[in-house]
Amino acid sequence: MAGLPLYQYAFIDTDELVFSQRVRYICETECPMYNTTWACPPAVGSVDACRERVMAFEEGLLIATITEVSDIANIEETLATRADHEEITRQVLMMVRQQAAQTLTLSTEACTHCEHCTWPDAPCRFPDRMFPCVESHGILVTDLAEKHGIEFLAQGNIVTWFSLILYK
């Protein structure tokens, strides 16, 4: 992974993950993408179902990227940095897949691959490229990052994105 523009990364055990109904509640009440794609609740299932899916894996790789923007309060500019993070996530996933038989990738926000998501009327068009949001699974990813010494840069005009790639 030396050639990739990662801020930091850490290998984690899924035993460390905390699944919180509170995180899901924030999806439901504060995220405008709730109930809009296959990558979000309720499409991803209950927090218990997400936990079961994740805990089928014992290990994972947490990756973080950072990007400086001119004004972090500018939502459009901030969200525009996400595409690069998703591409880096995809590249790391390709590397992990060279060593692992199965993977599960959780990433950022809702899926934006299609202009109009098929949810809930038809199956996802690109299930292999669709990465559900980490928070959609009830996981408080910033806590996990801090536990592994990955500083969450919430200050200034730095945008930090996380992805979690589980493998076995």
- Please report, as ranges, the residues that interact with ligand SF4 according to CB under 6 A: 37-39, 111, 113-114, 117-119, 124-126, 130
**CB of residue 72 vs ligand SF4: minimum separation in angstroms?**
26
If the CB atoms of residues 12 and 106 are measured against ligand SF4, the closer one turns out to be: 106
If the CB atoms of residues 117 and 150 are measured against ligand SF4, the closer one turns out to be: 117
If the CB atoms of residues 71 and 115 are measured against ligand SF4, the closer one turns out to be: 115
Which strands form 158-167's sheet, in the order they lie side by side? 8-13, 59-68, 158-167, 103-106
**CB of residue 127 vs ligand SF4: minimum separation in angstroms?**
7
If the CB atoms of residues 125 and 147 are measured against ligand SF4, the closer one turns out to be: 125
Q: Specify the amino acid at residue 105.
A: T
Backbone dihedral region for residue 109 (phi beyond 0: left; psi -120 to 50: alpha; all else: beta): left
* 101-to-19, 107, 131 alpha-carbon distances in Å: 25, 20, 18
Contact 48, 28 (CB under 8 A): no
**CB of residue 112 vs ligand SF4: minimum separation in angstroms?**
6
**CB of residue 143 vs ligand SF4: minimum separation in angstroms?**
26
CA 93/CA 96 separation, integer angstroms: 5
